């Protein structure tokens, strides 16, 4: 992909995100909380450790959700949520080298005995009216393909984690 085309797509994505933020009438309670924070990819140092549980813990699994800052603070997540993180799925690979993040994510996750699965998924949840529909469909297909790869990669990991408990 040409550098110019990548820049255009990046700018279009930023505009889509900004348009979605400006549509405050459709915000959820979580959107209201997140809006109050400073999520800048130039530095994640000011981000909150925003981990939360997506589903209730069971004997077999728990699913926490959090930002890069939450991934940087796995001990805080364990203390606050009462769960140990064993697998981290990062879907923003290109943003992971932000200021305030570990300089080497691989070493960081190895130190914490965490399996790290990472890829780049474009945010297709926002779509500017009039945006090229074919591009949106292509992003949906890419997203689905990446998620299938993640799930296939996780199967042996989840089986091993459950087997060890």
- At 113, the pLDDT band (50, 70, 90 cuts) reads very high
Domain count, the chain: 1
Instruction: Identify the residue whose tokens are 């800052």.
Output: 69
Q: Per the domain annotation, does 134 fall within a domain?
A: yes
Q: Is residue 80 part of a domain?
A: yes
Q: What percent of the chain has pLDDT over 90?
A: 12
Please indicate, yes or no, if residue 138 is contained in any of the structural domains.
yes
What pTM value is reported for the model?
A: 0.61
Question: Would you say the C-alpha torsion 12, 35, 40, 67 has a positive or negative sign?
Answer: negative
96 and 68 in contact (C-beta within 8 Å)? Answer: yes
Please tell me what DSSP assigns to residue 54. Answer: E
Residue 14 lies in a domain: no
DSSP letter string over 83-103? Answer: ----EEEESBGGGTT-BTS-S
Radius of gyration of the chain (CA): 17
**What pLDDT score was predicted for residue 106?**
92
Taking residues 32-50, report their average pLDDT.
Answer: 77
pLDDT of residue 29: 62
């Amino acid at each position: 992909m040409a550098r110019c085309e990548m820049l255009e797509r990046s700018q279009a994505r930023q505009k889509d995100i900004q348009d979605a933020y400006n549509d405050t009438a459709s915000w959820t309670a979580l959107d209201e909380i997140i809006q109050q924070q400073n999520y800048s990819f130039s530095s994640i140092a000011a981000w909150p450790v925003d981990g939360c549980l997506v589903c209730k813990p069971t004997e077999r699994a728990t699913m926490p959700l959090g930002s890069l800052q939450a991934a940087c603070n796995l001990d805080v997540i364990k203390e606050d949520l009462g769960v140990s993180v064993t697998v981290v799925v990062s879907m923003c690979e290109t943003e992971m080298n932000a200021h305030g993040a570990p300089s080497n994510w691989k070493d960081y996750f190895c130190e914490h005995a965490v399996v790290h699965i990472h890829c780049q998924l474009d945010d297709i949840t926002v779509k500017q009216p009039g945006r090229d529909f074919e591009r949106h469909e292509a992003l949906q297909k890419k997203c689905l393909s990446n998620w299938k790869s993640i799930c296939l990669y996780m199967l042996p990991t989840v089986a091993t984690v459950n087997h060890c408990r």
